[in-house]
Chain A
Amino acid sequence: MDLHKFSISQLLDGLKNKQFSSTELTKHYLKRISKHDDDLNSYISVTEDLALKQADAADKRYHDDKALPLDGIPLAHKDIFCTKGVLTTCGSKMLANFEAPYSSTVYERLNSKGMVMLGKTNMDEFAMGSSNETSYFGPVKNPWNLRNVPGGSSGGSAACVSAELAPVATATDTGGSIRQPASLCGLTGIKPTYGRVSRFGMIAFASSLDQGGVLSRSAEDAALVLEAMSGHDPKDSTSLNYEAPDLISDINKPIKGMKIGLPKEFFEKEMPEYSQKSIQQAIEVYKNLGAEFVEISLRNINLSLPIYYIIAPAECSANLSRYDGVRYGYRCNDPKDIDDLFMRTREEGFGAEVKRRILIGTYVLSAGYYDAYYLKAQKCRRLVANDFLEAFEKVDVILSPTTPGTSFKAGEKTNNPLEMYLQDIFTIPANLVGLPGLSIPCGEHEGLPLGMQLIGNSLEEAKLLQFAHSYQLNTDWHKNMPNL
């Protein structure tokens, strides 16, 4: 049986009807990982023994008629989520030997629903990057073309789900790290509203922007897993005080009569012809489903990139000050005094991109520059938020490209940080204002997939998934998977 072709609900049916066991399913995926992942490098750790133990426990629950909601479904976790007793590296030399003493809420929640962890996925170091080339554990390859990047920072999660080395994976998104790799690997990727998914045990990069989410092969799969991991968590003080949203009940409801906003500023940007064509075709699909299109204006949207590259590094410089070579993580050899210990530990333990961002963050927060940069950026952030508030008075969702184009060649942008930053030009605004966003496949160019982005109003993940699902019921882009 081609078990790796099954959707999550098909897998749940198969497990319930005893067509196959979770142990068989888990072994099937482990076998695919050992066969294909040497080429892709999508996993940092494969937790085979733990996976088989969890699968066995799931099988016993099925046998006893006590199955949990997602019992026996394998998944991969981005290596940013702490998992007790398992290596949690965040893609960094700094944490290359770090065994988490506790588990993240995301891991605990999905574990308590019966999900089986196959392993931890590769990522850009500390989630800083858009190509998965900054990982200490080596770059991840795009399964559609091994010479190309899978996107980042959740590139390992995207590559493994796209190559069918996991049915679904967790991921995180600070400026586009779920949606951009989803677009480049032909997947569905959702970043929920800020605060929907607990950040407890999710290694911090930029705390006011970081949000956990899902990379999957369909909106329906994403809905099942996102619902299971969402909801209030007293261990995260920024967690929203709402129960997990119901993302499944309305997913099949028609979108007829609902309104989609097209931000003119996004469509004024230079875009390859194939991108324009794919987006235009997607618009036609939605028109045929009865959606109405409204041109909207997000006047201050062009401020998003500079705002992001002030706020994210500022928060990163504070968060990453904890890596000091004393309490955990990497430590340099033979420090001659305490400053030498700190300064060489951090020089040797962090990669170039992480250091660039810490230095930028330190600069914008330093005496004399705080008002000019950080405070100014926080004010401009509100200008962007006001634009979205106004837009959502008129429309249900906002549609745009996810990325400027399809995946690019490995090494093409590594020497030019600014060009790499432009990868996230369409995705960053949703993080700045905390709104939910998703990317779904809507086309292909020269054998590489391309996604479109839908941004929803605060807390409206269910509506976003409804839009994504109705598109996927009427198109086949999400069903295309690479040939390994």
Chain B
Amino acid sequence: MALTDKELKEIAYLARINVNQNIFPSLKKELQDILALFDELNNADTSDIEAMSHPLDLSQPTREDQVTEVNEREKLQKNAPLVKSGLFLVPKVIDGED
């Protein structure tokens, strides 16, 4: 299946990765080569086969909903690129007056 320019732009936006125009054609070719690898699966008969999402077919355990962690905001925010008054700073996301 060929990957179109439009599709590549869409998935790049979905993945929130900017793709520089300089590398767009070579990236498209690389991704197409990888996608071509998947054609082989079309030959496999999987009509009565259940999907396998866990390598050992185990399900997730549950536990009582208890608080196990203490609040460590300051410690955890030490790794944040931009913080003010305990808040993560990002560019404005709501339109309107400042």
Contacts and interface: CB of A to CB of B under 8 A. Distances in A.
Interface of A: 97-99, 101, 193-195, 208-209, 234, 237-238, 240-241, 300, 302-303, 305-307, 309-310, 317, 321, 324-331, 335-344, 346-347, 350, 355-356, 358-364, 366, 373, 375-383, 385, 417-418, 421, 431-435, 458
Nearest to A379: B46
Interface string B20-38: 1000000100110111011
Contact of B16 (A346, A375, A378, A379): A346
B16 A363 contact: no
Interface of B: 3, 7-8, 10-20, 27, 30-31, 33-35, 37-41, 44, 46, 49-56, 58, 60-61, 63, 72, 75-76, 78-82, 88, 90-93
Contacts of A98: 79
Overall SS of chain B's interface: loop
Contacts of A307: 41
A164 B7 CA distance: 49
A65 to B, nearest CB: 36
B39 to A, nearest CB: 8
Contacts of B91: 335-338, 340-341
A360 B88 CA distance: 30
B88 to A, nearest CB: 5
A237 to B, nearest CB: 5
A233 B95 CA distance: 46
B38 A208 contact: no
Contact of B31 (A240, A241, A363): A363
Contacts of B52: 378-379, 381-382, 385
Contacts of A327: 76, 79-80, 88
A238 B54 contact: yes
Contact of B60 (A237, A381, A458): A237
Nearest to B47: A379
B75 A101 contact: yes
B53 A346 contact: no
